[in-house]
């Protein structure tokens, strides 16, 4: 069910009305659980059972860690983590295993290749893992409490995992951030300004920018790119960089706005990533919920930067490689992650071994351009299979004689411009005088975005991150 579909708007409105009926206020969590299950089942009804089973496993294990035999805590936590990872690996990576090592024309290889990929499985599995690890570690025991009542714990945890704004493509929630928020919500406390701004920005980025750019970035796929001029191929990669930001940041903003309608705060998943002047800064601004998850639950347990420089570089590369593979069951995603891990390791090497000049405006701009170019090149690995990546770069070299596609160039630049302005205004707003002016006249920008959503939305399509 897409956020920009009529059926979703209907579900949202009905849920909102029922949720704030005074005599049903004690059932608010149950109402959101029901709507969330309907939301998920609409696209893949047969796989709703997997979501419920995953939630039940995490409900039972987290309850046992706290309320079961204290001597068995480690066993419960380890078993729960293994089951979560096994389910994720089986449904998400079995086809990759089959294509790499087995005959997929018949037998077991064909069976593995035919397995469905449940929408959002990477997201709700990571959330289940965060619950088990947080409960076992007791790091957040002051704010993350597991109810003695199994029924109350059941509803809280099922709600945490299934809450529909974040269910399909995040942000990835951490249990200790979400559980303390669960409680009765009041209509009068809705922050309508926040909701309006997040929804308008989100729908504009998705429907006007990302969906329209899809009409032009599809030329990036094989075999279409073989007929495109070299400069146009380079520009298409730039367009895809803008598209994937707009698509995913758009989804995240919509999720934040919808969650706030029901009184819940989700983590900001994007913080103007394309103004980053270092690779570490980029990953503090891009898909923040994933990067913080990987840091907290993988990089630090591996040793982080506490075991020497070589181990630090290795941990960075391992973490980002696994983070890349989390995105999809293809080796190109692993390469994309390793590419970013290598960039982070090289950056850390230079910071550790060379005295770099102090950053000023010029060096920040220069480094920002370098980081953007390196990140943008990496999206080719994200978009295409490995064998097609090589062909794509060959075509950039070989197609210099082909004529340019003026329409493609104009429209990619046209639809990319608002995202460039979006980032530029963020930088400009660091100046208090400019910030006061933009704050005073921001209603004009929101009026323009609403108008463009109404008259210039692109063809409706799934969010890119739905496949993860």
Mind telling me the catalytic residues?
Answer: 327
CA distances from 466 to 6, 43, 163, 193, 399 (A): 18, 11, 16, 28, 33
Q: How far is it, in rounded angstroms, from Cα 104 to Cα 119?
A: 23
> Which candidate, 169, 158, 166, places its Cα nearest to that of 118?
169
Q: Write b or e for each residue in 424-433: b if 16 or more Cβ atoms lie within 10 A of its Cβ, otherwise e.
A: eeeeeeeeee
Burial class (CB in 10 A: 0-12, 13-18, 19+), 146: buried
- Residue pair 135/146 in contact (Cβ under 8 Å)? The answer is yes
> Terminus-to-terminus CA distance in the chain, angstroms?
15
* 3 state SS for the chain: CCCCCHHHHHHHHHHHHHHCCHHHHHHHHHHHHHHHHHHHHHHCHHHHHHHHHHHHHHHHHHHHHHHCCHHHHHHHHHHHHHHHHHHHHHHHHHHHHHHHHCCCCCHHHHHHHCCCCCCCHHHHHHHHHHHHHHHHHCCCCCCCCCCCCHHHHHHHHHHHHHCHHHHCCCCCCCHHHHHHHCCCCCHHHCCHHHHHHHHHHHHHHHHHHHHHHHHHHHHHCCCHHHHCCHHHHHHHHHHHHHHHHHHHHHHHHHHHHHHHHCCCCCCCCCCCHHHCCCHHHHHHHCCHHHHHHHHHHHHCCCCCCCCCHHHHHHHHHHHHHHHHHHHCCCHHHHHHHHHHHHHHHHHHHHHHHCCCCCCCHHHHHHHHHHHHHHHHHHHHHHHCCHHHHHHHHHHHHHHHHCCCCHHHHHHHHHHHHHHHHHHHHHHHCCCHHHHHHHHHHHHHHHHHHHHHHHHCCCCCCCCHHHHC
């Amino acid at each position: 069910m897409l956020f920009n579909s009529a059926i979703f708007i209907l579900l949202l409105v009905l849920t909102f009305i029922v949720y704030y009926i005074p005599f049903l206020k004690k059932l608010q969590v149950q109402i959101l659980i029901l709507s969330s299950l309907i939301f998920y089942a609409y696209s893949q009804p047969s796989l709703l059972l997997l979501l419920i089973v995953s939630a039940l496993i995490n409900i039972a294990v987290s309850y046992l860690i706290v309320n079961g035999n204290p001597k068995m805590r480690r066993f419960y936590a380890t078993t729960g983590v293994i089951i979560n990872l096994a389910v994720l690996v089986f449904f998400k990576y079995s086809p990759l295993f089959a294509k790499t090592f087995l005959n997929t024309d018949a037998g077991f290889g064909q069976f593995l290749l035919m397995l469905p990929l449940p929408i959002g499985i990477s997201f709700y599995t990571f959330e289940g893992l965060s619950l088990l690890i947080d409960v076992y570690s007791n790091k957040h025991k002051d704010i993350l409490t597991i109810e003695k009542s199994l029924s109350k714990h059941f509803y809280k945890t099922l709600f945490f995992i299934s809450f529909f704004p974040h269910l399909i493509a995040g942000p990835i929630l951490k249990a200790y951030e979400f559980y303390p928020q669960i409680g009765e919500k009041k209509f009068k406390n809705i922050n309508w300004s926040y909701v309006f701004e997040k929804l308008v920005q989100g729908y504009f980025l998705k429907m006007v920018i990302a969906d329209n750019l899809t009409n032009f970035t599809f030329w990036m796929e094989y075999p279409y790119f073989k007929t495109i001029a070299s400069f146009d191929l380079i520009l298409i990669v730039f367009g895809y960089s803008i598209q994937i930001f707009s698509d995913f940041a758009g989804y995240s903003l919509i999720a934040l706005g919808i969650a706030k309608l029901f009184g819940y705060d989700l983590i900001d998943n994007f913080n103007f990533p394309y103004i980053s002047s270092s690779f570490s800064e980029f990953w503090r601004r891009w898909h923040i919920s994933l990067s913080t998850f990987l840091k907290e639950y993988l990089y630090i347990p591996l040793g982080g930067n506490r075991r020497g420089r070589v181990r630090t570089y290795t941990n960075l590369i391992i973490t980002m490689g696994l983070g890349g593979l989390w995105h999809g069951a293809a080796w190109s995603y692993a390469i994309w992650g390793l590419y970013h891990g290598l960039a982070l390791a090289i950056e850390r090497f230079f910071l550790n071994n060379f005295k770099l000049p102090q950053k000023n405006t010029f060096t920040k701009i220069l480094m920002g351009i370098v980081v953007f170019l390196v990140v943008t090149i990496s999206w080719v690995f994200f978009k295409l299979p490995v064998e097609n990546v090589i062909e794509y770069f060959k075509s950039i070299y070989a197609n210099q004689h082909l004529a340019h596609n003026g329409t493609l160039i104009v429209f990619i630049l046209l639809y990319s411009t608002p995202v460039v302005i979006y980032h530029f205004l963020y930088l400009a707003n660091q100046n208090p005088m400019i910030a006061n002016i933009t704050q005073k006249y921001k209603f004009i920008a929101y009026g323009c975005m609403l108008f463009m959503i109404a008259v210039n939305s692109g063809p409706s399509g799934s969010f890119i991150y739905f496949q993860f």
